[in-house]
């Protein structure tokens, strides 16, 4: 039961910005130190400060023993993961150590004519 009233500066949930709603959803996902955390586009509406807070929260969860699965198009959040599964057109393109998969992806961008098999790294 709530015993205090919210401050005058508090906004009703429907008046929160997209970034504020995203941060609230992330806080709910991380509450209670879950063992498995699945984040789908967790940084989609976050500003730089929000992305930094997200990265710190993911790092803390991993240090506490949680498994964190991140689905992302924006690469900033990938700095917090240790493995990457890259999927294109519903097929696995690469899987492995973050740095190796990212290096292979950059190389493919530089040489797009090179065909990539379904299990290339």
What's the number of CA atoms in the CB half-sphere (13 Å) around residue 49? 3
pLDDT (0 to 100) of residue 6: 54
What distance in Å separates the CA atoms of residue 73 and residue 84, rounded to the nearest whole number? Answer: 12
**51 in Cβ contact with 77 (< 8 Å):** yes
- What pTM was estimated for this model as a whole? 0.69
Q: What is the mean pLDDT of each run of 10 residues along the chain (121 residues)?
A: 53 75 87 91 86 90 93 85 91 93 86 59 51
pLDDT (0 to 100) of residue 7: 61
**110 in Cβ contact with 103 (< 8 Å):** no
- For every residue of 38-58, DSSP letters joined together read EEESTTTT--HHHHHHHHHHH
What distance in Å separates the CA atoms of residue 23 and residue 27, rounded to the nearest whole number? Answer: 6
């Amino acid at each position: 039961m709530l015993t205090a009233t919210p401050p005058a500066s508090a906004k009703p949930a429907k008046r929160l910005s997209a970034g504020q709603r995203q941060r609230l959803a992330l806080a709910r996902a991380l509450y209670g130190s879950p063992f498995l955390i699945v984040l789908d586009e967790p940084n989609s509406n976050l500003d730089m400060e929000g992305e930094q807070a997200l990265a710190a929260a993911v790092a803390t969860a991993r240090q506490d023993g949680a498994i964190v699965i991140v689905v992302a198009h924006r690469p900033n959040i990938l700095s917090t993961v240790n493995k990457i599964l890259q999927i294109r057109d519903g097929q696995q393109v690469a899987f492995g150590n973050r740095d190796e998969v990212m290096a292979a992806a950059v190389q493919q961008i530089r040489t797009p004519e090179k065909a990539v098999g379904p299990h290339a790294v």
